[in-house]
Amino acid sequence: MKLIKSKNSNVNYLAKIVDIKTFHNHPDPEVNKLKCAYVDGYNVIVGVDEQPGTFVYFPTSCQLNPDFLRYANLYRHSEKNADQTKTGYFNDNGRVLAIKLRGCVSEGFLIPTYIFNNWLVDSVQLGLDEYTNGLEFDTVEHNGKSFWVCKKYIVQTYQRREYTGKVRKGKTYDRVIPEQFPEHYETVQIKKVPNPIQPNDWIHISEKIHGTSFRAGYVLCNNKPTFWQSCLNILKGQKFSEPIKEYDYLYGSRRVVKSEDSGSGYYKAEPYKAAFEVLKPALQKGMNFYAEIVGYNPDGSYIQKDYDYGCVPPEKEEYIHEKNFKVRVYRITITNVDGQVHEFSPREVQIYCLTHGLTPVTEYYYGKAMDIYPELIQIVNGDYENPLFPDDWYPQFLESLSNDDTFDMECNSPSCNNKVPHEGLVIKIDNMKSAAFKLKCFAFLNKEQKQLDAGESNIEDEN
């Protein structure tokens, strides 16, 4: 038996084995029935009787296997539990909530591994002898079969259209060369990564906006050969119908290539084609733009409920950029004919956009991490070139950043007319690597949770 990551697992919703050696008090001295533990950058509240040991950590907004919840008597409604005299914390949907208890935020859920192991024994008559600290997983695999433990919670009010990798009728997946038009990487929750930022790192901090992910490229595609091109294929020792690689335009959502089906009625209600027309003039050969579309859809609905970003609903047949919707670029790459990718630095993205008539995401800060909060470092004998950093510099840095209103943290969105919570920040280390971290506001998470509880779907999960 093994604990594994499934093929389509999302890094932000994986369970993790953690050794908790110490707990700390709830910050409110009057609270005596709760205590806290740190899991990477997360604070998790547990009962005061919990003892140090090995736990399974489940992150906020993941959904737990209902059979596990039943076995461990974790449901709030006792009739769903194995022991109906006991009650837990979970609603019927099994979603882990970020909650504030007496002024202290708890982000995630901890349960001792022995309870998890007992569930495995009850389920497949076999447990694990050892749990490796730091192991991340979402699935149990045994004798060639597997079952899920946790996954991202998604409101089931629609059928997602997914890229399956299979060729279907028409040209949708015939033309797309995956390495030429890749999906955007998963932006990792910064709190789940131990010490990802060092004081001397040059970092870029930008506004995280709440819309729908978009990508557009002018890249090599597999085009159907003409008769004469097919004849040349034969002379080259290739198949008669071997596709011809030519540069062409593609666009889509995070997971779905929309450009190939842009004529269908389903897609006419979406903002992607209009966003593509905004970016198209600035695309060069081999270039991919990754952006966020915010505001309203062509049918007048919000792209994300209540998040207007200074836009107004379209009237009649109009759908105007910067009036009804906005496109904000956050990433640019160039891919050569061999599939090798050059990643623009965060500042290069800003400069390229501003010199080509596009609007990048709002930049909050660019510079050394240590310069944001100089009070966290020590200057000895006036030597500003070699400051001293305390061992807990990063936890203090993250705590300060999480509550800094100069970055609009825990404030209303600075870009919306409606009073809605600011989503948070995107943080990139300027090292030319394809990686980014996100830091979300608790107020935003709380609003998001209420929408999920109301059964409201999210365009990001649909696309």
Q: First vs last Cα of the chain: how many Å apart?
A: 34
Residues 74/81, Cβ–Cβ less than 8 Å: yes
Burial zone of 204 (CB within 10 Å; 0-12 exposed, 13-18 middle, 19+ buried):
buried
**Per-residue confidence (pLDDT) for residue 166, from 0 to 100:** 38
**Per-residue confidence (pLDDT) for residue 16, from 0 to 100:** 98
Residues 72/55, Cβ–Cβ less than 8 Å: no
Tell me which residue of 101, 127, 116 sits closest to 65, measured CA to CA.
116
**Per-residue confidence (pLDDT) for residue 140, from 0 to 100:** 96
Question: Residue 80 half-sphere exposure, CB side, CA atoms within 13 Å?
Answer: 18
**Per-residue confidence (pLDDT) for residue 157, from 0 to 100:** 59
Give the whole-angstrom CA distance, residue 137 versus residue 16.
6
Give the whole-angstrom CA distance, residue 348 versus residue 17.
39
Domains annotated for the chain, with CATH where assigned, are 2-152 (no CATH), 172-462 (3.30.470.30)
Tell me which residue of 263, 256, 257, 229 sits closest to 245, measured CA to CA.
229
Tell me which residue of 184, 164, 186, 132 sits closest to 10, measured CA to CA.
186
Residues 334/340, Cβ–Cβ less than 8 Å: no
Whether the pTM exceeds 0.85: the reply is yes
Per-residue pLDDT of the chain (463 residues; tens, 9 = 90+): 999 999 999 999 999 999 999 999 999 999 999 999 999 999 999 999 999 999 999 999 999 999 999 999 999 999 999 999 999 999 999 999 999 999 999 999 999 999 999 999 999 899 999 999 999 999 999 888 999 999 999 987 544 444 333 333 434 447 899 999 999 999 999 999 989 999 999 999 999 999 999 999 999 998 887 777 777 778 778 777 777 789 999 999 998 898 866 554 444 678 999 999 999 999 999 999 999 999 999 999 999 999 999 999 999 889 999 999 999 999 999 999 999 999 999 999 999 999 999 999 999 999 999 999 999 988 666 666 777 788 889 999 999 999 999 999 999 999 999 999 999 999 999 998 888 999 999 999 999 998 888 877 677 766 6
91-112 burial string, b = 16+ CB within 10 Å, else e? eeebbbbbbeeeeebbbbbbbb
Give the whole-angstrom CA distance, residue 129 versus residue 122.
15
**Which element (helix H / strand E) includes 110?**
strand 109-112
Strands 188-189 and 437-440: parallel
Q: Is the dihedral of CA 10, 13, 19, 20 positive or negative?
A: positive
Residues 205/404, Cβ–Cβ less than 8 Å: no
Distances (CA, A) of 53 to 36, 111, 138, 457: 14, 10, 21, 38
Instruction: Look up tokens 């670029």; give the residue.
Output: 329
Residues 252/259, Cβ–Cβ less than 8 Å: yes
Give the whole-angstrom CA distance, residue 162 versus residue 183.
12
CB count within 10 Å of CB 42 equals 19
